[in-house]
Amino acid sequence: MTRKYRVIVLRLGHRPQRDSRVTTHVGLTARALGANGILIAGPVDKGVEESIRRVIEKWGGVFEIASGVNWINVINEWKKRGGEIIHLTMYGVHLNLAINKIRCSSKDKLIIVGAEKVPGKAFHLADYNVAIGSQPHSEVAALAIFLDRLFQGKWEELNFKNAVFRVIPSKSGKKVFRVRNRHL
Amino acid sequence: MTRKYRVIVLRLGHRPQRDSRVTTHVGLTARALGANGILIAGPVDKGVEESIRRVIEKWGGVFEIASGVNWINVINEWKKRGGEIIHLTMYGVHLNLAINKIRCSSKDKLIIVGAEKVPGKAFHLADYNVAIGSQPHSEVAALAIFLDRLFQGKWEELNFKNAVFRVIPSKSGKKVFRVRNRHL
């Protein structure tokens, strides 16, 4: 799948310990569905970074990870370079009203997903505040549906290069084959 | 939105504390995207049940919750009543190969989502083992995409009855209105 833009997820409000598992889910979902990386605002969390890196080492692909970033600086830098900002929030406009415009623009996309409370400033800095339903649910679910619609379900065509293992899809069990040895 | 079948999510391998937040995300995602309820296998977890119930009380809708269920009993009972079982797993067949058949059957659907390790027996008891991508990511993401495709994105038309609050979709802020007083 060739892309005309980069997609980076910016995770806001991450608190180590309490949010580590959900933030790991956000990162792995971003990777599996075709985003290019995740930036985690808040304190540095080596545990989350390592969890995601272990998956990349085993299952392949190129995916950037950094924690401990300052989200305002990231947004300002992103805008300066001509990228656009999409904030996923239950308070935003319906996904269906925004997705075509977002998909068709060739600008790099920074996708903001928050933990429980997102500062009001994020709503104002975003070019789009987009709701994946106007009900409270999960930033992992919202990101998954957003990326699925953005890439029109083509994540199944993604190629995770340099994987050690690949899955052979199966009706009734776990079939995995080793593509190469580690560290080769 | 009228439905010809019921959809219940069965969460396997839930461990209180460690999995409470992710299981809550699974439950809220199930509710927001149109499932009828969640059954949580493993020990009773009143905390998760309460978190989901608080959302229902505030944001409305009808949604069943039970924790502490025995998953083998649930599956056997479901089959006895003529329902079908769909297990979401990275080892299964591609979503696109299975979704039309699942959507068009009028059988009630039990959607199994696991935590880290799912017993081999679950793969054999399921009528469908379905992969939302053959990469490790998140059961919350997998459930979200599955329900989105099952209901063809019509979750935006869901009507959450008896809500105390509703969101007014907005381009740049949080707009919420009170539909009724609590306990009326």
Q: Where are the domains of chain B?
A: 7-178
Interface predicted TM-score (ipTM): 0.96
Does residue A183 have a pLDDT over 90?
no
Contacting residues of B for A161, CB less than 8 Å apart: none
Residue A84 phi, psi (nearest 5): -115, 160
- Nearest alpha carbon to residue B66 among B46, B51, B89: B46
A133 touches chain B (CB under 8 A): yes
Does residue A98 have a pLDDT over 60?
yes
Residues of chain B short of pLDDT 70, as ranges, are: 1-2, 182-184
* Number of neighbouring beta carbons within 10 Å of residue B40: 28
- Nearest alpha carbon to residue B101 among B127, B75, B82: B127
Does residue A73 have a pLDDT over 60?
yes
A56 touches chain B (CB under 8 A): no
Does B156 sit within 8 Å of A96, measured CB to CB? Answer: yes
Average pLDDT over residues A24-52: 97
The CA–CA distances, whole Å, from A184 to A57, A58, A63, A168 equal: 12, 12, 19, 22
A66 band by pLDDT with thresholds 50, 70 and 90: very high
pLDDT tens string A112-129: 999 878 999 999 999 999
How many CB pairs below 8 A link A and B?
167
Scan for tokens 């319906």, then name that residue: A94
Residue B3: what pLDDT? Answer: 80
User: How far B158 CA sits from the closest chain A CA (Å)?
Assistant: 9
A157 band by pLDDT with thresholds 50, 70 and 90: confident
Two tokens at A43? 């304190």
Q: How far apart are CA B92 and CA A156, in angstroms?
A: 13
Residue of chain A minimizing CA distance to B54: A136
A63 compared with B4, residue with greater pLDDT: A63
Does residue A1 have a pLDDT over 90?
no
Interface of B with A in 94-113 (CB under 8 A): 94-96
Residue A184: what pLDDT? Answer: 53
Contacting residues of B for A55, CB less than 8 Å apart: 136
Q: Using CB atoms, pick whichever of B18, B33, B169 lies closest to residue A134.
A: B169
Q: How far apart are CA A31 and CA A111, in angstroms?
A: 13
User: How far A42 CA sits from the closest chain B CA (Å)?
Assistant: 19
Q: How far apart are CA B113 and CA B38, in angstroms?
A: 10
Mean confidence (pLDDT) of chain A: 95
Cα distance between the two ends of chain A:
26
Mutate to test the interface with A, among B124, B137, B145, B179 (most CBs of A within 10 A): B137
Q: Using CB atoms, pick whichever of B21, B123, B135 lies closest to residue A172.
A: B123
Residue B180: what pLDDT? Answer: 83
Average pLDDT over residues A55-73: 97
In the three-class reduction of DSSP (H, G, I as helix; E, B as strand; rest coil), residue A88 is classed as strand
Residue B18 phi, psi (nearest 5): -55, -40
Q: How far apart are CA A134 and CA A93, in angstroms?
A: 9
pLDDT tens string A136-153: 999 999 999 999 999 999
Question: Do residues B122 and B112 touch, judged by C-beta distance below 8 A?
Answer: yes
Q: What class, spelled out in words, does domain A7-178 have in CATH? A: alpha beta
Question: Do residues B93 and B129 touch, judged by C-beta distance below 8 A?
Answer: yes
